[in-house]
Every structure is written in C-alpha cells, then in structure tokens.
A = this chain, B = another copy of it.
Amino acid sequence: MGLTRVLAEYLVQSRMQEIPVPVRHEATRSLLNWIGCALGGCHHEAVTYAHGALSAVSGPGHAVLIGNGGKTDALSACLLNGIAGHVLDFDDAQPRNTNINPSCTVAPAALAVGEYAHASGSEVLHAFLLGLEVECRIANTVYAQGSTRFFANSTTGIFGAAAAAGKLLQLDAQQMTWALGLAATQAAGLRIVFGTMSKAFIVGRMARAGAEAAVLAQQGFTSSEQGLEAPKGFAALFGPGMDTTPIIDGLGREFEVSHNTYKPFACGIVLHAAIDACIRARNTHGINPGDIASVTLRVNPAVIEVTGNPAPASGLEGKFSVSHCAAVALIDGAAGEPQYSDERVLAADVQALRTRIRPLPNPALARHQATAEIRMADGRLLETRVEHALGSRGNPLRDEDLDAKLAGLAAGILPPKNIPQVLQQCWNIEALPDIRELTRLIVPA
C-alpha cells in the first residue's frame, strides 16, 4: 500500500478515544492559542482588503468570520480566518528545523468545515489534531533540513487542512487519498512574500485549498493516489532526495502536537530567544536605552538568514528584523503587536537604537538560545544568556499564560463578557455537542 494511502487509511480509521488525554489537551491549547491570534489579527488590513475584494464572490454564510461578525461560506471562511490567524505572526511553532506554525492552515479549516458539517467540539478537535499530525509529519520529512526555498507553512499546511476537512466530511479511504493528491497538486508558497500581506494570504489560501480538496474528493473527484511519494510527487519536488518513510513511522502512537509551542512575542519564533534576552537584560539591569553604546546579539544562524534585515520600513518588515525586535525589547520591554506598528518601526528612538545592534550567527546556539552583550556608554558590559526562550519547550507558556494571551488579543474585539466564556468553551471543547457553541462567541455580536 502506498504511503499516501497508508496516511489516508489512518485518518479515516482514527478514533478520538484512542488518543491520549495529554495529547488532546495540547491540541486544545493549540486551538485556543490560534483563536486568540485570529481575534488579534481580525482587523488587520490584510483581512479587510481580502474581505472587501472577495465578498462579491462569496457564498452563503456557513461559518463565522472570527472577530468580524457576520458569516460567509465555509471555504471563504477558511481563507479569511486563515489570514487573520497568521497575519500577526503570533501563532504557534513546531520546535524542529521546519519551524512551521502548525495551526495556521489547519485551525481555520477545522473550525469552518466543522461549522459547515455541524460537527461536535470533539469531532473538530479530533480533526484538528489529525490535520496537525499529517502536516507536521510531512514537514519533518520533506523539510528535515529546514526550508530555505518554498514556504513550509503553506506547502505542507495544505495537507493538514485537507486531512482535517476530510475527517469532518467523513471521507472514506479512497476519497481521503484523492484529497491528499488534490492537496499535493495545489501546494504552493514562496518565501519571497515574507514581509507582505501575501505571507498570511498564502496560509489562508492553503487552508481554503485543503478544505476544497476534501469537498471535491467527497464528490468522487479523482486525483493521484501517490501524491506524496510518487517519483515526481510532492516530496520529490519540494524536498528532493528526502526519504519519505518517516512520514508514517509511529503513526497513531506518537503525536506531533505534543511538541507544539506558543509564541509569547508577535513575530517569528526564531527571534524569541534574542527578544527574551533583551527583555531580561532590560529588566535585570534597569537599562536606560539612551545609554546603550552597542549591542552584540549572538544567535542561531537561522535568525540572521530569515530576519537579517537591519532597516525595516514597515510594521510587517519589522517582524523580519532581529535588529528591530531587539531595539523594541530593550526600549519597551515588550514585543507584542504595538511594537510592530508602522509607527513604532519608524520611531526615532527605535531607529537610533537599531543602528547600534549587531546580530552575529553562532552555530553552537540552538534556536531557543541567545546571548545579548550590551555595552553601555559608561563602559560597562552587561551580558545576558537565555538557555530556553520563553515559550519554548523548555520554558513553555502555561495554560493561564495562554488565557492571558487570548484575553489580550481579544480586548477591544470581543465584548468583555465574551472572553471568559470563550476560554471556558475552549477548555471544554470535547463536551460541546455543536462547535457553534464556541464559534458563536468569537464574533462581536
């Protein structure tokens, strides 16, 4: 039996009660974290523009537009909620070389198709968990050496969205195999769009495309049955030379969601150790930013590769600039959404400090490690070393941290009384007979 078929059979046969409770709890944390991010991003102009552009071609309301109120068709909801959930770069991260944000394509598909299919909370969580599993396993294998060409989130995320939607639509193994083939042939995303609205767009696009693959396969729409493993299939084209068999090793016994991490800072996970080091240095030493002569940051080489831009010109570009992140961490003691506004990126104090920050790659440092060496104008050298960045597996956000993160992101978006209800329904998701008991709370009305 081919690898794609093995994966499809697993997805079809999986039963929620066979999945260990701690795994389900981590999936719940992942979903709650993603919902917070979607609430925080729902008024971003990337969402507003896409909604404006596409409302004329959208269908009747099956699923909520998170944070915006109103409903739209299930596939448009995948796209628009997918943009909202990823546009702040505040979501989750798989602590592997792949560095993908696992929930970004899967959560919007699971929620919107769940509403469309009138699924229970448990069914949605199960589908979400399986989608993460498929996506992470593909990413771990195809991008085992990291992803420096194609965008890992989108190119592997479409499989997760297809798997989650396919599970909710109760596809049989043949249909699920076709859905994965339809995902393979639609997989897309270039890293050159980082720093533009198109990064969040292609994530939403793949959420939609994965869900569409499942909807088509349900009708009997045919595709390759070896989408992943064929000689010119997805793995061969996107990760040439990689052995695909690990995709199914330990399937059903080991769960990738167990390794998921959640971002405390509103930017790429590779930046978090450096930000954490700067915030700790600031708070420990009571640094006045105006007295800083220079900062040397020692970081994993991936930080420089992805975020080496020394002079960002917009909020979005600021999320891809380690110099900007360090500057706001030292000045503001924070790296939340306000630190990535266009205004903050262009502010004089931030720009001045940015030019005094020198990031240096150090292959001996893991991604969750960093050192900040701060030379003060008076000659003092203040050194701060972070072994486990806040939010990493060694120093994870607690459940109450996730509550606080969602509450912060939802402030001003949802009526205050909704926020504790949203948290309650999230933690209680497995008991909800209809997922709409949660989704009806994540809109303003």
Contact = CB atoms under 8 A, between A and B. Distances in A.
A76 B52 contact: no
Contacts of A220: 45, 49
User: Which of A52, A62, A192 has the most chain B CB atoms inside 10 A of its CB?
Assistant: A192
Contacts of A73: 56-59
Given A189-B185, A192-B185, A193-B224, A215 B54 contact: yes
A443 interface: no
A372 interface: no
A288 B182 CA distance: 43
Nearest to A237: B149
A53 interface: yes
Nearest to A314: B222
Nearest to A45: B220
Contact of A182 (B60, B181, B201): B201
Contact of A184 (B74, B192, B224, B232): B192
A412 B76 CA distance: 35
Interface string A209-221: 1001001101111
Interface in A23-65: 45-46, 49-50, 52-54, 56-60, 62
Given A73-B57, A232-B192, A221 B49 contact: yes
Which size bracket describes the interface of A in this complex? Answer: 35 or more
A381 interface: no
A190 interface: yes
A330 interface: no
A202 interface: yes
Given A57-B74, A212-B54, A193 B181 contact: yes
Contacts of A54: 75, 212, 215-216
Contacts of A151: 185
A150 interface: yes
B186 A202 contact: yes
Contacts of A227: 190, 192
Given A73-B56, A186-B188, A198 B221 contact: yes
Contact of A56 (B59, B186, B197): B59
A230 B195 CA distance: 14
A234 interface: yes
Contacts of A62: 56-57
Contacts of A186: 188-189, 202, 205
A45 B60 CA distance: 25
A50 B237 CA distance: 27
Interface of A: 45-46, 49-50, 52-54, 56-60, 62, 73-76, 148-151, 154, 181-182, 184-193, 196-198, 201-202, 205, 209, 212, 215-216, 218-224, 226-227, 230, 232-234, 237
The 4 closest A-B CB pairs, nearest first, are A57-B73, A188-B188, A198-B223, A49-B219
28 contacts: A46-B221, A50-B221, A52-B219, A56-B59, A56-B60, A56-B73, A56-B74, A57-B74, A57-B215, A58-B59, A58-B73, A151-B185, A181-B196, A184-B193, A185-B193, A185-B202, A186-B202, A186-B205, A187-B188, A188-B188, A190-B232, A190-B233, A192-B232, A193-B224, A196-B222, A196-B224, A201-B223, A205-B209
Given A184-B192, A190-B237, A192-B233, 14 more contacts: A50-B219, A54-B215, A54-B216, A56-B62, A57-B75, A59-B59, A182-B198, A185-B198, A185-B202, A187-B188, A190-B224, A190-B227, A192-B224, A196-B224
